[in-house]
Structure 1
């Protein structure tokens, strides 16, 4: 299309705000709605219009992006969205939810004249604002191609992973790996500390070895306590890890590493670090150990 489509964003939390910031910076017109409201300051900064309700957002937007906290929030918003008319609208679900969450609404969206894809984002708000987050898309090819100009504004790692629900499944696979990585890192660093190694030495070794990763390089200063910024909070990591374990269990898959991570994050949060970056799970375990 020669002219950018108007993007409606449902949910202006950490990720929704980052999506809005990035798309506004890339020249997209935005319409915003959030269950908790949208401030005039935020809307003005992004040259965006605030919708009074979901029906208004749907009417004024071409592509409707949902960025919400969990399955319950997505279910609530989509239940209201399908009560309105959606002729020619593309609903894009970007939250971290079960693969079947959007599929349950697919026929209702079609009956209202719209279509839907799931396109969850891998990476925190800082990567979204830089345009370097990962995007995993599940849905029809025609809908994927329509969304591609928007996805390209958000990401340099875009994967069309299959039919509706495949994007959510791919996000779960990717983030299960990361979740397990942080748990194993905690266990490895605790072992090394007991063996007499400093945390600085161990991270230096890991960051120049196959045991390192871009994620570790990014969060090493936070593990060392040198950086207090928050990429993704520990309480969010617990929410996601719990979801991953539940989805795997529904398929009969045992997840001892993810289960251990769940317990580690619970301990971290119980100790008062839920609002800190997810790496606090590793850092605080080392401080205690």
Structure 2
């Protein structure tokens, strides 16, 4: 995701410097049209807006800890990761004290959508910080939502993800019921893909569900991570989410079967292939 954002912003005329814990080669950076910083201190020195695209909360805290030990006065730090709303809220006072501002702007969509500027952005932060980030956001997204204060963007992304998790669980259950009732999976998918229930997400992953491709848009392991973030937030707010519990169990079962790095729709494909 970070590479896709770097490519998109560079192609849109921004001067982009990148840093990654995987240490991209100068050749890869040149191909993306960006410069490479040897460390976070150098990245901060070269940047006005720092965009984080990280796997999980542990990674976000690790990078924020490192940034807090650099010169970040006047910097705007934008976290696009899918994490709990509390992650940035808990760090706001620290970074404000260092003269930096925080914004959460998780992304709805995959790297291919980033490259075409077609993702959604759910932004949480002050109006001033939102407007500062807006020119960058407009290069990345055609669906920009300033949701509210810091952390509210993360909350909106988790709510959005819940709908998708429920979609895959419902599709799995529809296949299970339909097959027990005597319908082949291929016919069920044919019917559903042309019905009002057919969302763009379902249609885009039909090739995966039908076993026509092994392409990975987002892995099962990532779906598990996101579902656990939703689960934990719900628990902290005393909200019961049975659909998410069922979805998480299904994704965990797919991972246990050896499909952790396969596309998330593999969870449904395993049922479709069991005719």
TM over 0.5: yes
Is residue 66 from structure 1 mapped to residue 52 from structure 2 by the alignment? yes
Q: What are the within-5 Å matches in structure 2 for residues 71-86 of structure 1?
A: 71-86=57-72
After TM superposition, the runs of 4+ consecutive aligned structure 1 residues lying more than 3 A away are none
Count how many residue pairs are aligned between Structure 1 and Structure 2: 275
| Structure 1, unpaired ranges of 5+ | 1-14
Alignment of 1:224-239 (within 5 A): 224-239=210-225
SS, match of residue 117 in structure 1: strand
Q: Say if 2:194 is the partner of 1:208.
A: yes
- State the distance in 2 between where 1:145 and 1:24 align: 20
Q: Give deviations 1:95-147, integer Å, cap 9, x for gaps.
A: 00000101122122222221111000011111111211110000011111111
Q: Is the contact made by 1:120 and 1:136 (CA closer than 8 Å) also made in structure 2?
A: yes
User: TM-score, normalized by length of structure 1?
Assistant: 0.92
SS at match of 1:271: helix
User: How many angstroms does 1:28 deviate by?
Assistant: 1.4
Following superposition, the deviation at residue 44 of structure 1 comes to 0.6
Distance, in Å, in 2 between the alignment partners of 1:69 and 1:136 is 17
- Asked whether 1:19 is paired with 2:13, we answer no
Q: Taking structure 2 as the reference length, what is the TM-score of the superposition?
A: 0.96
Measured after TM superposition, the shift of residue 170 of structure 1 is 0.2
Q: What is residue 256 of structure 2 aligned with on the other side? A: 270
1:25 Cα shift? 1.8
Corresponding position of 1:217? 203
* Displacement of 1:87: 2.3
Which of 103, 117, 124 pairs up with 1:117? Answer: 103
1:197 aligns with 2:183: yes
Q: Secondary structure of 2:91's partner?
A: helix
Deviations 1:172-195 (A, max 9, x none): 000011111111110011211222
Q: In structure 2, which of residues 111, 114, 124 is the aligned counterpart of residue 128 of structure 1? A: 114
